[in-house]
Structure 1
Amino acid sequence: MRKRRYMGMAASMLLAASILGACSDKGGAIEKGANAGNVNETGMPIVKETIKVDGFAAKFFASQNWDDLMLWNEYEDMTNIEMDWTTVQTEALAEKRNLLLTGGDYPEVFFASAFSKTDLIKYGEQGIFLPLNDYIDKYAPNFKKLLDEYPSVKQGVTMADGNIYGFPTIYDPQFEALRAGAPWMKKEWLDNLGLKEPETTEDFYKVLKAFKENDPNGNGQPDEMGWGGGYGIDTFINFLRGSFGLNKQGSMNINLDFKEGTEEFRFVPTTDEYKELLMYMNRLYSEGLINKDVFTTTPQEFTAESSKGQYGFLNSIDPEELMKLDGYVGMPVLEGPNGERAYNAVSNGLGNLGMFVLTDKAENPEAMVRWMDYFYGDEGTKMFFMGFEGVTYEENEKGEFKYLDVITDNPDGLNMDQAISEYLTWPGGYYPGIVKQKFFQGAESKDNSRLNAEKVKPFRIKDDDILPGLNYTVEENDQVGAIMTDIQTYIKESTAAFITGKMDFSKWDEYVKTIDKMGVDKYMEIAQGAYDRMKDE
């Protein structure tokens, strides 16, 4: 791979000029600065004369050198924009990112830096993050088209002050397998025991019990397990929320849904339905039907354990893709004890909002908005996820894309993520842009995951019913943070205690009263106000 080219002195001198952008409360009109005439409004290259831009990014693989990576080298040739990258491992991202901002030594561009809504509105109102509304209108046709096509996404990325401060990760709402999928079920074990697929929560309990007690693998050993997962108890709870009548407005505001027949919020973790769900989970846990280490195991540890094939049901991506375990199919969405049968833990497709941010040090904001927008269109998405034809992928006569053997069957023994990371940056999941099934080659794009999603879809919450995440003002954010930090910790601890039996359900009323005393009413008032404000816009 070629080494990175560096600009000559003439191009470097362009950086001495700055773009002065005077912005109103809602994005402001763009005032053309000294470098504005260097930007081509359409086509490539983005700028006529090469510019160099200071960027900070999170990366998953320590071995990557972003200053000499094929993706960025090729994109530099296309755009005439050379990124001077400072990168940090995702584990150290929050600390390093915050130190840069508090110390004032921050870059022009933050890429894959996962800023929260709280950070976006905070640093946006301080003037450190640029409002992007007008730049998007003029220089980001791909992203603007997505906002027009998905109004819920536009609502989600627009802060309470009317500004957009970051480009997000978007999971294409038409990519069903990324949005909704049931746990995986070992079909062979059902057949061996003469059982039907479970249709209700009670059926599910009986199947789990049979798997654990009746030797479905036929080896004469009591080594079968029921339902397992390595990402904590929330993945279990989220699958069952719709079965217990919870979160009928989706999962973007996980603690909130509407009181029946109204648009008035209730606090989900204190509802009778949530209590009933936890009682069901306690029943499964106390009888050994879910993995006992669910509260402590890591994804890596659980993957190693579950790869032995001893679980009847798995919270996972397709076990065949992840662990080479055959015979798993998606399980049905379950009807709950009150006749509810729905899959409600679904978002509007909007991931982290702050994945690409421009700071007030950005000298070429027009160019950098164009630079980012490319990855929201098909050509940029294909390059970002598939790489380069003849190098990392090939296209067949049907127009379908497939990684070459150097990626999928690497001669050096690298797995797919390791192999593709020698060319691209997406493995690990930190990136702005849009994830489309056509260009994404992870497990979710394979046939098994597609079939799983199709099985779920008749019961999945309708898109029109999904609320985007609520956006608060800076003052509201401070209040919500002060209230909800302690409440969320208490809910997490109490949920675990109820499920494991360390806290008896006779203590439920005491649990609810404790949350009331912690100020949940004020949070509900703020949340309702944020929703009413969004609804009226």
Structure 2
Amino acid sequence: MRNKRLLLLASILATGLLAGCAGGKNNGEASPPAQTEEGAGTPAASTEPAASENVEPRELSFYYYSSVFQVTGDLPIFKEAAKKTGVSLKNVAPSGGDDAQAWNLLLASGELPDIVAYQIPGLNNIAAQSALTPLDDLLDENAPNFKAFLEENKAIKSAITAADGKIYVVPFVNDGEAQEGWFIRQDWLDKLGLQAPTTVQEYYEVLKAFREKDPNGNNKKDEIPFFSRNATTGFSSLFPLWDATLSFKLKDGKIVYGPNEPEYKTALTETAKWYKEGLIDQEIFTRGNTARDVLFGNDTGGSTHDWFASTANFNNQIPATVPKFSLRPIAPPASISGKTFEVTKRDPLGNNAGWAISAKAKDPAAILRYMDFWWTEEGRRLLNFGIEGETYTMVDGKPIFTEEVLSQPSVVDYLIKTTGAQLNIGAQQDFAYEEQWTNKIALEGVKMYVDNNYFAEDYLLPKLSFTLDEDKRLNELFPSIQTYVMETSQKWFMGGEPVEGNYDRFVQQLQTLKLDEVLSIYNAAYERFQQ
């Protein structure tokens, strides 16, 4: 019977995990399966010893797919954990194909390994078909450290709880708070005698000056005042300046859809005007992920909204070719309602990843004891920093990366490939790992946003758990809504059709496409989350 259930799930999940993933906020910086640029804040792991220290030596099968490199139980962090727990791992995931293909093949086989690492919505979906072991009754005796974390982080506990009210997944939890912020060319401001903008109107005037007053000094009108490297949704980075969003948000305690709200009409009208005036990159829908490299590199990019760490790092890269280059984070310009806020925040479950125990596992309690090791102080340090004496040393009681690690172009990629540290298993990040290799300017921006608590909670939906029927219905309805919204919004933005006179018809079409049913499903899931 279980084989039939898993075959059914393979066909269901082949359509994607859109509904399960849509409950969170991404805002353009897609995290690969094995890494994240930045995370979200949570308390430190307990120092209580793992309950698994005296377990008999055993090998567990597990599934962890990576398109970047082959994950094996021989990675140094797993071998080190085996010394402490007696548990070694053997990965059964294939090395070829792609993520969805590998996952569907696993389900179709009807044979799940002891441990399954995957996206949380996907894991909760197969849990609904009795493919996974519920953890609730096992936590007290076998996972004291993980349980203590959940008790201190009620929102995360609610977010990982499946629609049936049970917990099946031990999640990968990001650490830190600030994610993205507003950046502007300070050298251009200085040359034009301008101050950093503090309101949407001031921001408009600064961008207009960037366009018209030749701040790069090459006697050409080639400056691109605002740009984004997200070719799909980057244009919507400006929408909060008019209190609007392209995504879902909370309003009066209910989930609403941004494009269906009246502020959206204003945001599209105004950004279309900015685009027509040349204040926004005319290639914003096609330039893509290299936009920062190209536009900062040729001294034509003026301002953007992007991730703190990677964006601030251009201050280290660009001065070789643009000597006076100075890029600085600024506070979010106040919107037309006078509110100063940021619509992104490090989501503790932003990677949407974790691992779970198969229902066929012979000793789930022992496996959970192994998983709990990663929530001890020792296990958390191993996951975040790798191997003591190789990738870090202890200085004044704190793990400090070696110079070899800090000199790498990508510290995260290096750690993953050499040790397995930062793999998206069920464990908790430590922001101290990132702090050591983050640009000082980025840290200043992070501190500014955190100290001022710019984060707009109504724009930051929690991860929601949907039933199989809800998930199936969302996959049937929402793609057509999303396609219609994107096509219409881009047409309005680029001036192909005026917003005025067409917005009411747009809203009517959303109802025809059954947006109300989508919102009903979201709000039902949100009510479960609150309970």
Q: Name the TM tier (shorter chain).
A: 0.7 to 0.9
Q: Give how far 1:454 is off.
A: 2.9
In the aligned structure 1, how far is the partner of 2:146 from the partner of 2:55? Answer: 23
- The CA distance in 2 between the partners of 1:503 and 1:379, in whole Å, is 59
User: How far apart are residue 235 of structure 1 and its match?
Assistant: 4.6
Aligned residue in 1 for 2:207: 208
Task: Find the residue that maps to 2:302 and give its secondary structure.
Answer: strand
Deviation at 1:171, TM superposition (A): 2.3
Measured after TM superposition, the shift of residue 43 of structure 1 is 3.9
Query: CA–CA distance in 2 between the matches of 1:381 and 1:222?
Result: 52
Preserved CA contact (<8 Å) 1:348 1:463: no
The alignment covers a number of residue pairs equal to 473
In the alignment, the residues of structure 2 paired with residue 280 and residue 90 of structure 1 have an alpha-carbon distance, to the nearest angstrom, of 46
1:499 aligns with 2:505: no
**More deviation in 184-193 or 229-238?**
229-238
Is residue 418 of structure 2 the alignment partner of residue 423 of structure 1? yes
Tell me, which stretches of 5 or more residues in structure 1 are unaligned? 1-40
Quick check: 1:53 aligned with 2:60? yes
Alignment of 1:248-397 (within 5 A): 254-258=247-251, 262-300=252-290, 302-303=292-293, 306-314=296-304, 315-318=306-309, 319-321=311-313, 324-325=317-318, 327-346=326-345, 349-397=348-396
Match for 2:525 among 508, 530, 536?
A: 530
1:106 matched to 2:112: yes
Q: Could you tell me how far apart the structure 2 residues matched to 1:465 and 1:281 are?
A: 20
Deviation at 1:128, TM superposition (A): 0.8
Deviating beyond 6 angstroms after TM superposition, the runs of 4 or more aligned structure 1 residues are 462-465
Cα pair 2:192 2:215 within 8 Å, conserved: yes
Aligned-pair CA distance for 1:287: 2.7
**Higher mean displacement: 218-227 or 298-307:** 298-307
Matches within 5 A, 1:37-116: 43=50, 46-59=53-66, 61-62=68-69, 64=70, 66-87=72-93, 92-111=98-117, 113-115=118-120
Larger deviation, residues 478-487 vs 48-57: 478-487
Contact 1:51 1:82 in 2 (8 A): yes
Percent identity for Structure 1 against Structure 2: 24
Q: Taking structure 1 as reference, are residues 56 and 320 closer, same or farther at Cα in structure 2, changes over 3 Å only?
A: same
Within the candidate set 125, 135, 139, 2:138 is matched to 135
CA distance in 2, matches of 1:521, 1:44: 48
Counterpart of 1:134 in structure 2: which amino acid? Answer: D
Query: d(CA) in 1 for partners of 2:140 and 2:233?
Result: 39
Alpha-carbon shift at residue 416 of structure 1 (Å)? 3.3
Q: 2:468 matched to 1:474?
A: yes
Residue 486 (structure 1) aligned with residue 485 (structure 2): no
Deviates more, 1:509-518 or 1:494-503: 494-503
Separation in 2, partners of 1:503, 1:362: 58
Q: Is the contact between residue 248 and residue 461 of structure 2 (CA under 8 Å) also seen in structure 1?
A: no
- Give 1:237 deviation, angstroms: 2.5
Give the Å deviation of 1:392: 0.7
Contact 1:133–1:163 (Cα < 8 Å) also in 2 = yes
**Matches of 2:228 and 2:147, distance apart in 1:** 38
Whether the aligned pair in 1 keeps the contact of 2:178 and 2:345 (CA below 8 Å) is no
User: 1:435 is paired with a residue of what secondary structure?
Assistant: coil
Counterpart of 2:178?
177
1:161 aligns with 2:164: yes
CA contact (8 A) 2:182 2:332 kept: no
User: Do 2:50 and 2:376's aligned partners in 1 also have CA atoms closer than 8 Å?
Assistant: no
**Cα distance in structure 2, aligned partners of 1:60 and 1:426:** 17
Offset of residue 486 of structure 1: 1.6
* Conserved? CA contact 2:250–2:461, under 8 Å: no
Show the counterpart of 2:8: none
Aligned residue number for residue 10 of structure 2: none
Distance 1:86 1:400 in 2: 35
CA distance in 2, matches of 1:239, 1:139: 48
3-state SS, counterpart of residue 227 of structure 2: strand
In 2: Cα distance, 1:135 partner to 1:526 partner: 31
CA change 1:423–1:282 in 2 (3 A) is same
Distance 2:136 2:457 in 1: 25
Distance 1:147 1:45 in 2: 19
- Aligned equivalent of 1:512: 507
Unmatched segments (≥5 aa) in structure 2: 1-47, 319-324
CA distance in 2, matches of 1:380, 1:434: 9
- Structure 1 equivalent of residue 28 of structure 2: none
Aligned to 1:237: 236
Given that 1:157 and 1:353 are in contact with CA atoms closer than 8 Å, whether structure 2 keeps it comes out as no
1:110–1:47 Cα change, 3 Å? farther
What TM-score do the two structures reach when normalised by structure 1?
Answer: 0.79
Deviation, structure 1 residue 430: 4.1
Structure 1 residue 510 displacement after superposition:
1.5
Kept after mapping to 2: 8 A contact 1:384/1:424: no
Cα separation, partners in 2 of 1:355 and 1:264, compared to 1, 3 Å: closer
Contact preservation (8 Å) 2:312, 2:439: no
Please tell me the root mean square deviation across aligned C-alpha atoms, in Å.
Answer: 3.0
C-alpha separation in 2, matches of 1:278 and 1:357: 43
Q: Give 2:404's aligned residue.
A: 406
Deviation at 1:198, TM superposition (A): 0.7
**Aligned AA (1:75):** A
Greater CA drift, 95-104 or 131-140: 131-140
TM-score, with length taken from structure 2 = 0.80
- 1:218 is aligned to 217
What's the offset of the Cα at 1:408? Answer: 2.5
Distance 1:171 1:418 in 2: 16
Q: CA deviation at 1:481?
A: 2.5
| Equivalent-residue separation in structure 2 for 1:212 and 1:426 (angstroms) | 45
Name which of 149, 153, 172 aligns with 2:152: 149
In the TM superposition, what is the alpha-carbon distance from 1:304 to its structure 2 partner?
Answer: 5.0
Corresponding position of 1:21:
none
Tell me if structure 2 keeps the 8 A contact 1:227–1:291: yes
Change (3 A) 1:164 1:442: farther
- Which amino acid is the alignment partner of residue 131 of structure 2? I
- Structure 1 residues 166 and 44: alpha-carbon distance in aligned structure 2, compared to 1, 3 A threshold: closer
Supply the distance in 2 between the matched residues of 1:257 and 1:220 (Cα, whole angstroms).
47
From the superposition, tell whether residues 321 and 426 of structure 1 become closer, same or farther in structure 2 (CA, over 3 Å): farther
List per-residue Cα deviations over 1:271-312 (Å, max 9, x = no partner): 111221222322232333233333234425654554444312
Residue 75 of structure 1: CA displacement?
A: 1.6
> How many angstroms does 1:90 deviate by?
9.9
- The 3 A distance-change label for structure 1 pair 432 and 229 is farther
Deviations 1:368-423 (A, max 9, x none): 223223333433222112112221113333x444321222236xxx6534533342
- Alignment deviations for residues 341-385 of structure 1 (CA, whole Å, 9 cap, x no partner): 322333653224442122223223223223223333433222112
Q: What is the CA distance between 1:84 and its match in structure 2?
A: 0.7
* 2-structure distance, mates of 1:440, 1:81: 29
* Distance in structure 2 (CA, Å) of the matches to 1:310 and 1:364: 60
Which whole-Å CA distance do the structure 2 matches of 1:284 and 1:332 have between them?
21
